[in-house]
Structure 1
Amino acid sequence: MTPMATQYGQGYGDWDSPGSPGAGERRHRLPAPLRAPIEARSWREFGYLMLGLPVGIAMFIYAVTMFALGAGLLVTFLGIPVLAAALAGCRGFGVLERARARRLLGLEVADPEPLRMKGHGPMAWMGAMLKSGASWRHLLYAVLQFPWAVFAFVVALNFWAYGWALLTYPLWFWVFPMYGGQGGLQLYGDQAHSIYLDNPFEITVTALVGLLFTMATPWIVRALTTVDRLLVHGLLGPSRLATRVVELESDRGVVIDTAAADLRRIERDLHDGAQARLVALAMDLGLAKEKLAEDPREAARMVDEAHGEVKTALQELRDLARGIHPAVLTDRGLDAALSAVASRCTVPVQVEVDLPARPAPAIEGIAYFTVSELLQNVSKHARATRATVDVWRVENRLLLQVVDNGVGGADVSGGSGLAGLAGRLDAVDGILVVDSPVAGPTRITAELPWRG
């Protein structure tokens, strides 16, 4: 069996990713240390740290003043609206900070969960504001961001200024002998000795030291902005609980839509298939009954045709029942059910199921229909000569993998069957990974929660 390595990650402002505009030949002309000081990304990050100090001062003064005033007035009713106003102002600063991070750091942070007001009016608004965890996180951000902004501002500005000043020293050292009355930049001086950077060797060494500072500064700035990214993402975005609630609401909608689509499919199959055949069968039997007395041979022929229609209708009903939930899956589990599905595939399929026990019935059913749909795709589109199905368990996850040697090119895109399958798996915290290069082979892996 081939194990699956699922990677999770979140890019925080990857301006120079391979897929981004401008990536390619231009980004490889210079090595990264030489390229970094003149990159737009480095200057944007430096600008973010420079703006962070005045914004941090304003946020800190507002947050501390309003919170202290509100807390002091809590002995009266006036403390409640003051605290609510303090939190509302911090949320306003949060909008500014998310926009600043998005523009200068390339960091996309969703808006926090909205206020959940029970009722209308100022009292409902104040109660919702004070109960909102997002509002208090914004207040915490306003307090924590200020000391960090001071530190980051001082470090970034000093490294940036000294680096460029030393690097360009050969261009401006003439200022000292012309206007300062000394040979150059003073490195050391007391009553007896003075050391000036004034000869060509010392000027060159100074510029090289400045070059080292200049090349190191973007990476130092990038490390500093990493902390800002964590602060913005962790305190100004939606909480994990709120994000999870939104995901569950979306997944519930997918489940409802899928169930409604399945009901419509069953209704359509019954109406166009077995029901139509049974209606035609009733009419044929009625005609045979009328002819029974006057033409027994013709009536017998019609009854024989009706018998064939009964067999066809029964087969359609069995197929329909298998599409709803196959009896073999309930009775014998995934191994037998998937082997039955594989036997109906148009290409030879090798099935290997290695499970210590049976998962929850709902997960087992989803796994069955996932493999069934993937094998249907192999039959219809892959033009393969063989396929394999592997099912195994890793910790608390059930993994399915379908591999074929067909033409490849399978893609999870809007409107495709794989997109719908990925949506149904996502509704139960599942994952669908498609690896299908052009010319094949195609390897599709599904991961489901075990829930045994």
Structure 2
Amino acid sequence: MAMEYGHGYERGQGRPAGTGHRLPAGLRAPFEARSWREFGYVLLSLPISIVLFTWTVTMVSLGAGLLVTFLGVPVLAAALAGCRGFGALERVRARTLLGLEVAAPEPLRVRKPGALAWMGAVLKSGTSWRSTLYALVQFPWAVFSFVVAVTLWPLGWSLLTYPLWFWVFPAYVGQGGLQLYGDEHHSVYLDNPFEITVTALVGLLVTLSTPWIVRALTTVDGLLVRGLLGPSPLSARVVELESDRGVVVDTAAADLRRIERDLHDGAQARLVNLAMDLGLAKEKLQEDPRAAAQMVEEAHGEVKTALQELRDLARGIHPAVLTDRGLDAALSSVASRCTVPVRVEVDLPGRPAAAIEGIAYFTVSELLQNISKHSRARSASVDVWHAEDRLMLQVIDDGVGGADVSGGSGLAGLAGRLGAVDGVLVVDSPAGGPTRVIAELPWRA
């Protein structure tokens, strides 16, 4: 399977579609199940569109006419609700016959119980009106598609098989063959071997081209279903932003808990012990100056350790080198602390937004930590570059591989953190290695 990494990167290509078949796609199309499903979709579209169009025009017109009274509101709400129901049916039909996966649109948001609240939600819902528009637009298109498909499909097969049944005309109709033209003066019949052969060849061309014409027609149907019966781009974006906001909040809370734990178990504990040691040294200062001096010396060592832990903690929050000198110096610094040799190459025209720069730093930092702990690699490399409006990161190691984004691993959390800012994380880590991780972030300078 091929997976796009973005901006020129892609994984190893799988087997090209269509290999393994002895006949080319153009010759086997009339016999494929997909072609017959698409033809069945076109056939079903006409009766369904007639019912849907009739329902929509009748109910919407009736509801609009009755708006001068209170009865118009429930009638119009019922009309829109019916269109939503037909929309659900159409999504199922497209999935079954066309293999088109269209997500359900956002549900009704009824803020209060009761019929009035429900009617208000239906009338305010953009999904309801888009479903109604689908009913009005799909009807003429279904008529056109039905006429084209029902004309071409039997015509092609009839002409293709004409050599098998042309004998019916001289035997039972009293003419040499299929009449191509006729008036009161003369007639033209397809009755000699040359004309019969040409007729079969024309039928072959029509038969071979009809599945592709029907496929083009159903492609338009798919666009209508996806565009009018699926979730709107705005609502999908709202849902995505709500999810990203939850990820950001959870990530921030986890970072705060980590900082609190590191302070409590590290620097804070050392400072408490330091205060106790200095108190004991103060008490012993008069009685045993040498022991007091030894305790002060030990306390001095504890101060240095506590300071180093505080520096490490500050670096984990936001390293000063990143703020002062940018990604190149900051990534070189974090690479120097990795347990394997790491080559770092940064090629950027400038500096991205501070938030993006911080996320890029912590992404590489966590990936290098994973390499140190789990990869058993002998070497690694970090490449950072700018492509169009994206900041690209690539981390490669020659370890044992097997890294997986799923399963609640650290990589999954990293992917969620990148997704919260419209970033992407792609991991290619076959068993036995090597492992390649590519991250995309918006530039946002």
Same fold flag (TM > 0.5):
yes
In 2, are the aligned partners of 1:4 and 1:445 still within 8 Å (CA)? Answer: no
Which residue of structure 1 aligns with residue 414 of structure 2? 421
1:344-375 Cα distance to aligned partner (Å, 9 max, x none): 22333343434444332222211111121122
Which residue of structure 1 aligns with residue 105 of structure 2? 112
SS in structure 2 at match of 1:108: coil
State which drifts further: 298-307 or 422-431. 298-307
Counterparts of residues 283-432 of structure 1 (less than 5 Å):
283-285=276-278, 288=281, 296-406=289-399, 408=401, 410-432=403-425
| Matched letter for residue 7 of structure 2 | A
Question: 2:128, 2:14 → 1: CA distance?
Answer: 37
Displacement after TM superposition at 1:37 (Å): 0.8
| Matched letter for residue 61 of structure 1 | T
Question: 2:317, 2:151 → 1: CA distance?
Answer: 69
In 1, are the aligned partners of 2:18 and 2:25 still within 8 Å (CA)? Answer: no
Report % sequence identity.
79
Choose which of 142, 147, 156 in structure 1 pairs with 2:149. 156
Question: 1:263, 1:82 → 2: CA distance?
Answer: 54
Question: 1:358, 1:18 → 2: CA distance?
Answer: 37
The Cα RMSD (Å) is 2.8
Q: Does 1:63 align with 2:44?
A: no
In structure 2, relative to structure 1, the CA distance for the partners of 1:241 and 1:160 (3 Å cut) is same
Which residue of structure 2 aligns with residue 14 of structure 1? none
| Matched letter for residue 357 of structure 2 | E
Which residue of structure 2 aligns with residue 5 of structure 1? 7
In structure 2, relative to structure 1, the CA distance for the partners of 1:4 and 1:45 (3 Å cut) is closer
Question: 1:261, 1:178 → 2: CA distance?
Answer: 88
Question: 1:29, 1:45 → 2: CA distance?
Answer: 23
In 2, are the aligned partners of 1:167 and 1:207 still within 8 Å (CA)? Answer: yes
Which residue of structure 2 aligns with residue 12 of structure 1? none
State which drifts further: 276-285 or 98-107. 276-285
Question: 1:186, 1:157 → 2: CA distance?
Answer: 21
Displacement after TM superposition at 1:47 (Å): 0.5
| Matched letter for residue 85 of structure 2 | G
Choose which of 52, 59, 68 in structure 1 pairs with 2:45. 52
TM-score, scaled to structure 1: 0.88
SS in structure 2 at match of 1:28: coil
Displacement after TM superposition at 1:274 (Å): 2.8
In 2, are the aligned partners of 1:18 and 1:24 still within 8 Å (CA)? Answer: no
Displacement after TM superposition at 1:386 (Å): 4.2
Displacement after TM superposition at 1:407 (Å): 5.1
Choose which of 172, 179, 182 in structure 2 pairs with 1:179. 172
SS in structure 2 at match of 1:353: strand
Which residue of structure 1 aligns with residue 426 of structure 2? 433
Q: Does 1:262 align with 2:255?
A: yes
Unaligned runs of 5+ in 1: 9-16
Which residue of structure 2 aligns with residue 13 of structure 1? none
| Matched letter for residue 64 of structure 2 | A
Question: 1:332, 1:5 → 2: CA distance?
Answer: 27
Q: How many residues align?
A: 439
Q: Does 1:123 align with 2:119?
A: no
| Matched letter for residue 66 of structure 1 | M
1:284-326 Cα distance to aligned partner (Å, 9 max, x none): 4555556556655444444433332332222222111211111
| Matched letter for residue 48 of structure 1 | Y
Question: 1:405, 1:102 → 2: CA distance?
Answer: 43
State which drifts further: 156-165 or 188-197. 188-197
Which residue of structure 2 aligns with residue 11 of structure 1? none
